[in-house]
């Protein structure tokens, strides 16, 4: 029971993107699953489990760009409940390519406006740091696996101090 | 008599987000709305005005897990537009890229997403290392995934958004030492793949409903060439595929849905196995024997068994190619631009994928169209859920029905990132 308490509570959240970094993370599991099983409590990782709990997290990994008010509200809730937020992949770090519609010309914007309205999407797609403070980022499209492992090992050291 | 509405907040263990509204009145299902809630990223708009040489890498970003399928489908469309034949070696390297994708993507679905349902667990990592059977499954899963990942990386540079395949050929070629290591890894996982096939052969979940199946059927079981065939016997050339699909706008979904001859249909591994099982690699066929008699099947859960068999086929065909073929560096063929339209149709892990591109004489993209497998399966999924809920509602409580729906949807291995990502079932009160 004691070891269970010591596990680092993590969440993995996905907003508007292609989930490429989720796939890279599941490929990194091929080599790291036994180690991660010992040190992490996967509290909220919808790609891996159904019973997800968003209470208190040590680390929230956030992938994807922010495309709606619901996304903003969810991200703010994650910030409130997490000690660290790590932006994962290009869409979270810089918005692109999910934010490509921000750069459409007038004619292209007119063609998509009914769809933007129908699903109440934001007029401009945002990167994660536009909405909440982030503690670190792992750029790349998809995320750079070595940088991710580096960020993870630094955080594990920090939480185990 | 039951009257209720169901709300599933998020379908987990799938690619992307979707929600579902089900309305039941006096044991009759009044409506089923499968909504793909992934926010549109407008790739068919964004492609306009882009240089054609940059297009395949842009469109790979439609989807993380089947990224390399979008990449190869877009390359095919662009090369067809520019009348560019490719070398034999390029064709073989593309086949290997698809095999790497099928092995790692199907294994992700079968182990990480679906296997917990079979063993009554919430998550794959909840499997018990101290239980001999579960220990074996855990290790098999990550070894199979790793071998697929290794093959994809060796041939295509990365398993996600691969960097070696390009219009006109490949930018790098597999080294001999890598090829030898890949053969070893693939041979090592073969017994694990056979155990996986056995698990899904014996799996107790079934749901049978007559529907039409459609797939690109090649001469030799594969994913890149052939004629589109359906279970009614229709044969369609790749270039004519779009003319046979009717787009259906579902106002509640971020994705476009499609019908064929005014009926729903299914694409994916089950469709391919139903239509082309006799073309599997001879070693795969010999090994499986009577197991293949299960197909053709209209049981949607057999899609999982078909995926497991495809892993074995991809392992056997890859070992065959890697053992018998030597790879030499080749220059990339340079395109000559002209105003023209090209079509690419391939079998992505989840089914038939269509890319169309119209390029101008300046090499800039004018417009295009993309039709993804999950969009094509959307109406079939709704019709299946309708039947399933109607069958279950007299004797099962709401929460259990919600779980049964999730299992059924998961069997399709839908990809909401592609179709436009979670499942939210909203039971609506009437």
- CB B318 within 8 Å of CB B151: yes
Closest CA to B403 of B4, B1, B8: B8
Q: Chain centroid to CA B242: how far?
A: 19
Task: Report whether pLDDT(B421) > 50.
Answer: no
- Tokens at residue B411, please? 């069997």
The answer to whether B368 touches B44, Cβ cutoff 8 Å, is yes
**Distance, CA of B298 to CA of B192 (rounded, Å):** 27
Structural tokens at position B35: 């909504």
The CATH architecture annotation of domain A2-142 reads: 3-Layer(aba) Sandwich (3.40)
Q: How far apart are CA B269 and CA B267, in angstroms?
A: 7
Structure tokens belonging to residue B5: 């509405």
Mutation target among B11, B17, B42, B67 for the A interface, most CBs of A within 10 A: B42
Selecting from B64, B104, B251 the residue whose C-beta is nearest the C-beta of A142 gives: B64
User: Is B364 near chain A, with CB under 8 Å?
Assistant: no
CA distance B373 to B250: 16
Q: What is the pLDDT of residue B7?
A: 60
Interface of B with A in 227-266 (CB under 8 A): 251, 254
Q: Which comes out higher in pLDDT, residue B169 or B219?
A: B169
CA A42 from chain centre, in angstroms, equals 14
Q: How far is B319 from chain A (nearest CA, A)?
A: 21
CB contact under 8 A, B112 and A47: yes
**Cβ contacts from A onto B, under 8 A:** 126
> CA dihedral defined by B291, B292, B298, B299, rounded to 10 degrees?
30
Separation of alpha carbons B177 and A19, rounded Å: 32
For chain B, give the percent of residues with pLDDT over 70: 94
Checking DSSP bridges between strand B265-266 and strand B212-217, what pairing results, if any? parallel
d(CA B345, CA B314): 19
pLDDT in tens, A28-64: 999 999 999 999 999 999 889 888 899 999 999 999 9
Average pLDDT over residues B216-221: 93
Output B117 or B417, whichever has higher pLDDT: B117
Calpha distance B116→B199 (Å, rounded): 12
Beta bridge partners of B352: B347
Pick the residue from chain A with its C-alpha nearest to B146: A30
Question: Residue B108 has what DSSP assignment?
Answer: I
Sorted by sequence, the CB contacts under 8 Å of residue B258 that are 6+ apart come out as B245, B246, B247, B248, B371, B375, B376, B378, B379
Calculate how close chain B gets to A13, using CA atoms only, in Å: 11
Q: For residues B313 and B194, what is the distance between their CA atoms, to the nearest angstrom?
A: 11
CA geometry: angle B293, B299, B302, nearest 5 deg:
65
pLDDT at B430: 42
pLDDT at residue B253 greater than cutoff 50: yes
> Pick from B385, B387, B426: which is nearest to B407 by CA?
B385
Tell me, what's the pLDDT at A2? 44
Task: Report pTM.
Answer: 0.94
Residue B426 has φ and ψ, to the nearest 5°, of -105, 110
- pLDDT top residue among A73 and B245: A73
Return the H-helix or E-strand segment holding B101.
helix B88-107
Contact A48, B124 (CB under 8 A): yes
pLDDT tens profile B106-148: 999 999 999 999 999 999 999 999 999 999 999 999 999 999 9
Residues of A whose CB is below 8 A from B158: 142
For B26-110, strand residue ranges (E) read 28-36
Which among A33, A49, A68 has CB closest to B12? A49
Q: Note the pLDDT of residue A50.
A: 84
Residue A112: which of B45, B67, B123 has the nearest Cβ? B45
Q: In this complex, which of A14, A30, A112 lies closest to B42 when CB atoms are compared?
A: A112
SS3 content of chain B, % helix, strand, coil (to 5): 50, 20, 30
Q: How far is CA A136 from CA A17, B268, B277, in A?
A: 19, 39, 49
> In sequence order, which residues have a C-beta less than 8 Å from that of residue B403 and are 6 or more positions away?
none
Nearest to B108 among A26, A42, A100 (CB): A26
Choose the mutation target among B19, B41, B372 for the interface with A, i.e. most A CBs under 10 Å. B41
What digits encode the pLDDT tens for the residues B149-164?
999 999 999 999 999 9
Q: In the predicted model, is pLDDT for residue B50 greater than 90?
A: yes
Going along chain B from its start, the domains and CATH numbers come out as: 43-377 (1.10.645.10)
* Cβ neighbour number for residue B38 with a 10 Å cutoff: 30
On the question of pLDDT at B18 being above 90, the answer is no
Please give the Cα distance from B382 to B22 (Å, whole number): 10
Decide if B64 and A19 are in contact by the 8 Å CB cutoff: yes
* A16 vs B contacts (CB less than 8 Å): 38-39, 41, 421
As a whole number of angstroms, the distance between CA B192 and CA B195 comes to 5
pLDDT score, position B198: 98
Give the C-alpha separation, B149 to B144, whole Å. 9
Residue A120 CA to residue B39 CA, distance in Å, equals 10
In angstroms, the Cα distances linking B26 to A62, A63, B231 are 43, 43, 36
* ipTM of predicted assembly, 2 dp: 0.93
Q: In this predicted structure, what is the pLDDT of residue B429? A: 43
Rounded to whole angstroms, the Cα distance separating B158 from B295 reads 34
Taking only the tens place, the pLDDT of each residue in B279-304 is: 999 999 999 999 999 999 999 999 99
Of A114 and B72, which is predicted with more confidence?
Answer: B72
Q: Write out chain B residues lying below 8 Å of A52, CB-based.
A: 10, 12
- Token pair listed for A97: 């390519």
Helix axes B302-324, B132-156, angle to 10 degrees: 50
Instruction: Give the span between the Cα atoms of B79 and B94, in whole angstroms.
Output: 14
């Amino acid at each position: 029971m004691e070891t269970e308490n010591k596990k680092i509570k993590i969440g993995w959240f996905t907003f508007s993107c292609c989930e490429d970094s989720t796939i890279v993370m599941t490929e990194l599991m091929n080599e790291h699953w036994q180690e991660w099983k010992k040190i992490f409590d996967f509290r909220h990782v919808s790609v891996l489990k159904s019973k997800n709990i968003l209470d208190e997290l040590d680390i929230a990994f956030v992938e994807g760009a922010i495309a709606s008010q619901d996304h903003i509200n969810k991200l703010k809730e994650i910030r409130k409940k997490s000690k660290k937020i790590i932006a994962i992949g290009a869409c979270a770090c810089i918005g692109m390519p999910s934010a490509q519609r921000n750069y459409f010309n007038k004619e292209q914007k007119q063609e998509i406006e009914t769809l933007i309205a129908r699903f109440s999407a934001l007029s401009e797609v945002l990167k994660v740091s536009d909405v909440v403070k982030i503690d670190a980022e792992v750029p790349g499209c998809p995320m750079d696996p070595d940088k991710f492992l580096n960020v993870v090992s630094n955080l594990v050291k920090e939480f185990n101090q | 008599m039951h009257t209720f509405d169901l709300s599933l907040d998020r379908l987990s263990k799938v690619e992307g987000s979707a929600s579902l509204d089900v309305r039941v009145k006096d044991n009759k299902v009044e409506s089923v709305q499968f909504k793909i809630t992934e926010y549109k990223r407008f790739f068919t708009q964004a492609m306009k005005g882009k240089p054609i040489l940059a297009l395949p890498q842009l469109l790979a970003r439609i989807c993380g897990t089947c990224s390399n399928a979008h990449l190869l489908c877009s390359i095919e469309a662009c090369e067809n537009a520019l009348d560019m034949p490719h070398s034999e070696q390029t064709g073989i390297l593309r086949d290997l890229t698809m095999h790497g994708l099928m092995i790692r993507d199907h294994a992700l679905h079968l182990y990480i997403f679906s296997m917990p349902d079979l063993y009554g667990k919430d998550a794959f990592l909840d499997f018990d290392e101290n239980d001999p059977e579960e220990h074996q499954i855990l290790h098999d899963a990550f070894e199979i995934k790793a071998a697929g990942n290794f093959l994809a990386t060796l041939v295509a540079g990365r398993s996600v958004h691969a960097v070696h395949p390009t219009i006109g050929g490949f930018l790098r070629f597999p080294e001999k030492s890598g090829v030898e290591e890949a053969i070893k890894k693939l041979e090592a996982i073969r017994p694990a793949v056979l155990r996986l096939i056995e698990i899904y052969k014996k799996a107790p979940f079934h749901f049978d409903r007559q529907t039409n199946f459609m797939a690109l059927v090649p001469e030799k079981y594969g994913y890149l060439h052939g004629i589109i065939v359906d279970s009614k016997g229709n044969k369609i050339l790749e270039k004519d595929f779009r003319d046979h699909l009717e787009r259906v706008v579902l106002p509640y979904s971020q994705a476009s849905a499609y019908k064929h001859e005014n009926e729903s249909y299914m694409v994916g591994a089950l469709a391919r196995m139903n239509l082309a099982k006799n073309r599997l690699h001879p070693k795969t066929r010999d090994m499986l024997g009577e197991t293949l008699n299960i197909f053709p099947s209209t049981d949607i859960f057999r899609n999982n068994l078909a995926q497991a068999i495809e892993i074995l086929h991809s392992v056997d065909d890859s070992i065959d190619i890697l053992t018998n073929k030597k790879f030499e560096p080749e220059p990339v063929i340079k395109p000559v631009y002209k105003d023209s339209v090209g079509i690419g149709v391939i079998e992505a892990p989840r089914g038939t994928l269509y890319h169309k591109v119209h390029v101008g004489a300046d090499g800039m993209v004018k417009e295009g169209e993309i039709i993804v497998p999950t969009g094509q399966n959307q109406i079939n999924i709704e019709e299946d859920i309708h039947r399933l809920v109607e069958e279950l509602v007299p004797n099962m409580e709401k929460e259990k029905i919600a779980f049964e729906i999730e299992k059924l949807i998961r069997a399709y291995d839908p990809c909401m990132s592609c179709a436009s990502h979670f499942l939210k079932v909203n039971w609506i009160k009437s």
